[in-house]
Amino acid sequence: MSLKSVNDILNILQLETKLQEQPFQRLLKCWSEVVGTAVAAHTRPLSIQRNVLWVATSSAAWAQNLTFERQRLLVKLNALLPNPLVDIRFSTAEWHSSKQVADQPNSSVNPQHPSYLGKQIAPENHLNSDAGDANTTFADWAVAIQARSHHLPLCPECESPTPPGELQRWGICCLCAAKKFSR
Ligand SMILES: [Zn+2]
Angle at 162 between CA 161 and CA 165, to 5 degrees: 160
**Residue 2 resides in a domain:** no
Q: If you measure from the C-alpha of residue 5 to the centroid of ligand 1, how many angstroms do you get, rounded to a whole number?
A: 31
The yes-or-no verdict on residue 3 having pLDDT over 80 is no
In the predicted model, what is the mean pLDDT of residues 80-107? 73
CA atoms within 13 A of residue 60's CA, in its CB half-sphere: 0
In the predicted model, what is the mean pLDDT of residues 46-50? 90
- Note the pLDDT of residue 119: 43
Q: What is the DSSP letter of 153?
A: P
How far is 136 from 11, CA to CA, in rounded Å?
42
The residue type of 7 is: N
- Note the pLDDT of residue 54: 93
Residue 117: closest CA among 141, 82, 99, 81: 141
H/E element holding 52?
strand 52-57
Q: If you measure from the C-alpha of residue 24 to the centroid of ligand 1, how many angstroms do you get, rounded to a whole number?
A: 20
Q: If you measure from the C-alpha of residue 161 to the centroid of ligand 1, how many angstroms do you get, rounded to a whole number?
A: 8
Domain end residue (candidates: 43, 68, 96): 96
pLDDT digit string (tens) for 117-128? Answer: 444 444 444 444
Q: If you measure from the C-alpha of residue 166 to the centroid of ligand 1, how many angstroms do you get, rounded to a whole number?
A: 10
By the CB criterion, residues less than 5 angstroms from ion ligand 1 are: 155, 157-158, 173, 176
Q: If you measure from the C-alpha of residue 92 to the centroid of ligand 1, how many angstroms do you get, rounded to a whole number?
A: 32
Q: For residue 103, what are the CA distances in angstroms to 33, 98, 143?
A: 19, 8, 21
CATH number for the domain including 26? Answer: 3.30.300
In the predicted model, what is the mean pLDDT of residues 47-69? 92
Please provide the average confidence, as pLDDT, over all residues in the chain.
76
For residue 161, the enclosing domain spans: 115-182
Q: If you measure from the C-alpha of residue 69 to the centroid of ligand 1, how many angstroms do you get, rounded to a whole number?
A: 26
- Note the pLDDT of residue 106: 44
Which pairs with CB-CB distance under 8 Å and at least 24 residues apart come from 5-12?
none
Contact 160, 14 (CB under 8 A): no
pTM: 0.45
Domain end residue (candidates: 65, 96, 127): 96
